[in-house]
Amino acid sequence: QQPVQSPQAVILREGEDAVINCSSSKALYSVHWYRQKHGEAPVFLMILLKGGEQKGHEKISASFNEKKQQSSLYLTASQLSYSGTYFCGSSEGGSNYKLTFGKGTLLTVNP
């Protein structure tokens, strides 16, 4: 089942912060975050694993609440380069590889 992302879109000014949420109705093993710029391929940002392990970018942080089956991506002091569509992908049942992606959150950072 597809995870639900919110908000669908957000507009920021450079330097502002944003939070993108991802929730699932099913128990999650891991949550993956990707960013896709228009006309380009998705690029890996972060993996959050059950048990608290995280792998990802230094400038982007995220949380994973296993009980609530939710993850949040925190973008602080946004830069113009942060603009793009952010996707969360969830995996279930003890495997990382079969990812179900949300519909995405379009983030626009203006000068």
Contacting residues toward another protein, per CB under 8 A: 2, 32, 34, 40-44, 47, 55, 87, 89, 95-104
Which is nearest to 31 in space by CA: 82, 107, 101?
101
C-beta closer to another protein: residue 54 or 110: 54
DSSP class of 30: E
Q: Cα separation of 69 and 88, whole Å?
A: 12
Nearer CB in complex with another protein: 55/68: 55
Q: Shortest approach of another protein to residue 41 CB, angstroms?
A: 4
Structure tokens at 73: 């991506």
**Closer to another protein by Cβ: residue 16 or 61:** 61
Least Å distance, CB 18 to another protein, is 20
CB 44 within 8 A of CB 32: yes
